[in-house]
Amino acid sequence: MTLLAPILAITAVQAAATAAAWLLRTREDALKRQLPYIVALAIGVLLATALLHLMPEAISALGNGRPVWTALGASMIGLFALERIFFVFTGAGAEPEVAEPTRPHHPHGVHSTRPLNLILASMLHSLVDGAAVAVAFLTSPRIGWLTALAIALHEIPHRMGDFALLVHLKIPLNRALRLAALAGLPSLLGLAAVLLLGEHSTTLVAWLLPISAGSFLYIATVNLLPELQSECKLPRVLLQLACLSTGVLLVVLAGNGG
């Protein structure tokens, strides 16, 4: 596998997320109205990528035994534990909330969160994202690009959330953008670590597949789904469901094309 593809993929994800944060500077109201639908699309892509691609590849490489499913569950529990411990020490959640279209953006912890804590939490997720992209590309380019798409769709709205919260905390616009961009840099470290590991142990990398699937399932079900549950207007709920289904369909069609 060429190193260019995963490096290009993760760079594109981070560039898109940072660009979206910068657009929020002048088009905040319009973008916030669209964020719930972007999140719904992301949920569909994340769930489908984990269940229809990463887990089947893991089972194909490692067998359909209890250890594979244990790795899946352990990764979800591990991410939950890591986020809760991080929150206890810093007061910052690892995933900023997406604001509802009808009210200002006030994520949990807005009064106690310091900018450094917010950025450290985002850097932690970026590290995991970079590793997930690398694992996927080591499996196949098709799954690699699907994984990059899944990460982009959840990273973009949450990078926008980072930026909005930094501005709310009275950080100057240019500095807030630099901090938001800094949050994405560890993704390259995660990418490099897994790529170096992959050169020495294919089996060890295969065990990262259920772990990546578990991280996707955790992000989709724990971090993102609750953000859609406050909507009470039927047309918007139906549109969110349509976006979620579209995300699943995109992954299914991409898989059939491969």
- pLDDT per residue as tens digits for the range 139-171: 888 888 988 988 888 788 778 777 876 776 678
In this prediction, residue 32 carries a pLDDT of 67
| Matching residue, tokens 């859609």 | 228
In this prediction, residue 233 carries a pLDDT of 92
The conformation of residue 232, written as its DSSP 8-state character, comes to -
Which residues in the chain show pLDDT less than 70?
Answer: 1-2, 24-32, 91-114, 117, 165, 168-169, 198-202, 255-258
- What residues contact residue 248 under an 8 Å CB cut-off, 6+ apart? 44, 45, 47, 48
In this prediction, residue 151 carries a pLDDT of 86
Query: Cβ-count burial of 196 within 10 angstroms (0-12 exposed, 13-18 middle, 19+ buried)?
Result: exposed
> Quick one: angle between helices 66-90 and 55-62, nearest 10?
130
The residue among 9, 13, 47, 12 whose CA lies nearest residue 247 is: 47
Domain boundaries, position 100: 4-257
The conformation of residue 3, written as its DSSP 8-state character, comes to S
Query: Cβ-count burial of 97 within 10 angstroms (0-12 exposed, 13-18 middle, 19+ buried)?
Result: buried
In Å, how far from its chain's centre is CA 175?
23
**Residue 242 and residue 244: Cα distance in Å, rounded?**
5
| Matching residue, tokens 């380019």 | 141
**Residue 166 and residue 151: Cα distance in Å, rounded?**
22
In this prediction, residue 173 carries a pLDDT of 79
**Residue 126 and residue 134: Cα distance in Å, rounded?**
12
- What residues contact residue 191 under an 8 Å CB cut-off, 6+ apart? 6, 7, 10, 130, 131, 133, 134
Strand positions, DSSP E, 158-238: none
Which of helix, strand or coil describes residue 229? coil
Number of domains in the chain: 1
The conformation of residue 91, written as its DSSP 8-state character, comes to S
The residue among 59, 54, 46 whose CA lies nearest residue 250 is: 46
Tens of pLDDT, residue by residue over 93-118, are: 555 454 443 343 444 333 334 677 67
